[in-house]
Structure 1
């Protein structure tokens, strides 16, 4: 019997302006050498960004289903510093660093404990059904900007 609120996917959380999202490395994430395949870091970061938006109160699905469009990655810069391995517990940290009319810039890190494994800066642009950039809802921009301001207070 399932009890309400149980058996739900793990959800990240905000600590100040930083959204934290835990992931575990599974066999399917690794390559022949036993380390995480480079593209899988992008998957971890995508999951963390999607979860960050959900926890921040941004309903991407409703916006899309209402004809408002969806986010597309417009720019990505990533640096790999050290490998993750099978069964490692990782933490993806996401921070909004800028909010513009049609886009949001998010810096993300992947760590194993205190060790930085990967970091990236991602620009997600809101595009309409026609594929053209579209202004984000004002409430979303306000929420992103509040996270930027909150993050500026972090040492």
Structure 2
């Protein structure tokens, strides 16, 4: 009998927040077993991409149609505690602001203790602007702003 891999399990919305789990692997760490600082940004990017996918925002289709693409235009991150090899992490993303051509997403990375309290490791904010193929800011495709607003308000996402 052939082995069938389990289905891919993406992140999920919990109210107004998107939750995305990450495991720290050896490749993520430096010689001391602590996560290299740039990898927190990778975890946050994966979580934002997953959040958009679950919200029905098809970035690839927009790029292929020549509409444009998202680009991070502002990023702030505060490192509070280090993540370590084999840690279970939770990236929590929330939409803070929606504008015609941009969105601000707050993200926290927590070490999951599988208890009532998780330990916050990083606190960050990313502003992403929708850019035309020529690299100039342009309005988000129709419907995307309303999806972001619904997420921000903890509402069900319009289809």
Tell me the equivalent position of 1:126.
130
Pairwise CA distance, 1:56 = 0.6
**In structure 2, what is the Cα distance between the partners aligned to 1:119 and 1:11?**
22
**In structure 2, what is the Cα distance between the partners aligned to 1:72 and 1:50?**
12
Tell me the equivalent position of 2:115.
none
Structure 1: state its 5+ residue gaps: none
Pairwise CA distance, 1:7 = 4.3
Pairwise CA distance, 1:10 = 3.0
**In structure 1, what is the Cα distance between the partners aligned to 2:127 and 2:8?**
26
Cα distance change, pair 66–7 in 1 and its aligned pair in 2 (3 A): farther
Cα distance change, pair 7–134 in 1 and its aligned pair in 2 (3 A): farther
**In structure 2, what is the Cα distance between the partners aligned to 1:19 and 1:102?**
21
SS in 2 for 1:57: coil
SS in 1 for 2:110: strand
SS in 1 for 2:154: helix
Cα distance change, pair 8–134 in 1 and its aligned pair in 2 (3 A): farther
For normalisation by structure 1, the TM-score amounts to 0.91
Pairwise CA distance, 1:103 = 0.4
C-alpha offsets along residues 13-40 of structure 1, whole Å, 9 cap, x if unaligned?
0011110000000000001121000000
**In structure 2, what is the Cα distance between the partners aligned to 1:57 and 1:106?**
17
Tell me the equivalent position of 1:47.
46
Root mean square deviation of aligned Cα: 1.4
**In structure 2, what is the Cα distance between the partners aligned to 1:49 and 1:149?**
17
Q: Please say if 1:146 is aligned against 2:150.
A: yes
**In structure 2, what is the Cα distance between the partners aligned to 1:75 and 1:2?**
44
Aligned residues: 149
C-alpha offsets along residues 62-94 of structure 1, whole Å, 9 cap, x if unaligned?
111000111000000100000000010000000
Bigger helix share: 1
